[in-house]
Amino acid sequence: MTTSTPSVGSAPTASGPGLAAATPVPEIHKGLAGVVVDTTSVSKVNPDTNSLLYRGYPVQELAATRSFEEVAYLLWHGDLPTAAQLAEQTATERAHRALPGAVRNAILELPTTCHPMDVCRTAVSVIGAHDPTAEDSSAEAEHAKALRLWAMLPAVVALDQRRRRGQQIVDPDEDLGYAENFLHMAFGEVPDECVVRAFEVSMILYAEHSFNASTFTARVITSTLSDLHSAVTGAIGALKGALHGGANEAVMATFAEIGTADHAAAWLDQALADKRKIMGFGHRVYKSGDSRVPTMKTTLDDLVAHLATTEAVALDELYDALEAAMTERKGILPNLDYPTGPAYHLMGFDTPTFTPLFVAARVVGWTAHVVEQRAANALIRPLSQYVGQAQRAVP
């Protein structure tokens, strides 16, 4: 429903259609912009220093030196794992990679006309329905469920891409690390180390980002004392939108529309004249660049140099040309979805699979927030300013 927008600010009174003359106008924070709603110790996004810390560690350093498995442990437990802790987590993760038959069948029942994010969302819901500990909200049970869900999501994403391509499903390989196994299940082989590392870096960078829209959704759902799978299912719905995770898919659509680097500036001028949002640019919190982009862009450049195909080089040139034009015209910089889109394309993923890859990474952050929200819960229920009809009698 569209209503007249109340003034944003702290004007003391308002008058207008249907409002009593002296109704006080509260300060409206449209989109909750600038509002601090709670504390968190999972990650710190600092737009002033253009930095992102996971449990205190700079994400760039983690991406350069650590595995995604180690980063997942860090986000869930607050500290990097010892060798024994990592070994225990790894054993559990590898033991839960294969999808239960009911989950696999539920995915295979879904039409290939639906978006892969719908498949992810449905799969998590089915996994929850079959989990005998679904209603156990102790921190221990929540961590165990989070770990199993994280272990299963690569199989969900890979299976869905393969069935859409009419390919045989590839079973997980317990001898491979998380990233290698994910790529093995998606493509039937483990690609070169450069590709594996690029994929792993993207997973680390995508894993967590404080109170973004999908994480906040997970926290809202948790705040009602609902269960972890419901929280993740809702978060997937929030991530799907093009203003959030769906932008990595939309970036490739933009590149396809532009074609080649020499068309980027003219395309952008027309798109801005048409008041279009340019996907992969801008951010609610960072206003002078997304802290994760330099790492992911270097990773993309490494991938392009490694592949050294005409297509890869042309895509990188188009990337640079659109970024340069957008910076010059609007001063709006890329967010993480801008380099991950072309990187996933060059790795061989189908474009609609990009946002499910984000899901597979962000499930770590979401579930860390579910546990944190539950530990110090308050029902999340903001207020609104009513701007509809004044009270009237039913005729």
Contact 295, 205 (CB under 8 A): yes
Judged by beta carbon, residue 94 or residue 244, the one nearer ligand ACO is 244
Alpha carbon 184 to chain centroid, angstroms: 22
Q: Is 184 a catalytic residue?
A: no
Beta bridge partners of 279: none
Residue 319 backbone phi and psi in degrees, to 5: -55, -55
For ligand OAA, which stretch binds (CB under 6 A), given 136-144, 251-259, 277-285, 325-333?
A: 277-285
Q: Does 373 bind ligand OAA (CB under 6 A)?
A: no
Give the closest residue to 153 by CA, choosing from 350, 345, 363, 348: 363
AA identity, residue 384 = S
The answer to whether 68 touches 203, Cβ cutoff 8 Å, is yes
Cβ–Cβ under 8 Å, residues 11 and 5: no
- Is 337 catalytic? The answer is yes
37: its two tokens = 């709603």
| Site for ligand OAA, residues 162 to 201, rule: CB under 6 A | none
Choose from ligand OAA, ligand ACO, none: what does 306 bind? Cβ within 5-8 Å by kind.
none
Judged by CB under 6 A, the residue of 277, 302, 350, 385 near ligand ACO is 277
202 binds, among ligand ACO, ligand OAA, none (CB under 5 to 8 A by kind): none
Shortest Cβ 114–ligand OAA spacing (Å):
24
Q: Which of 244, 283, 345, 369 is catalytic?
A: 283
Q: Which two tokens stand for residue 283?
A: 């951010």
Rounded to the nearest whole angstrom, what is the least distance from the CB of residue 132 to ligand OAA in the complex? 31
209 binds ligand OAA (CB under 6 A): yes
Q: Tell me: does residue 282 bind ligand ACO (CB under 6 A).
A: yes
Question: Does residue 161 touch ligand OAA according to CB under 6 A?
Answer: no
Number of residues in the chain: 395
Residue 247 touching ligand ACO (CB under 6 A): yes
Which of 128, 245, 339, 352 touches ligand ACO by CB under 6 A? 245
- Give the phi and the psi of residue 353 in degrees, each rounded to 5: -85, -10
Instruction: Using CB under 6 A, pick the residue from 163, 284, 306, 329 that binds ligand OAA.
Output: 284
In 36-162, DSSP assigns E strands to 43-46, 51-54, 57-58
Using the minimum distance from each CB to ligand ACO, give the nearer residue, 18 or 47: 47
312-338: string of b/e by CB count within 10 Å (b at 16+)?
beebbebbebbbebbeeeeebbbbbbb
- Going by C-alpha positions, the residue among 62, 79, 369 that lies closest to residue 208 is 369
Count of residues near ligand ACO by CB under 6 A:
17
Site string (331-350) toward ligand ACO, x via CB under 6 A: -x--xxx-------------
Give the footprint of ligand OAA on this chain (CB under 6 A).
209, 212, 283-285, 335-336
Which residues are marked as active site? 283, 337
Give the footprint of ligand ACO on this chain (CB under 6 A).
31, 243-245, 247, 277-284, 332, 335-337
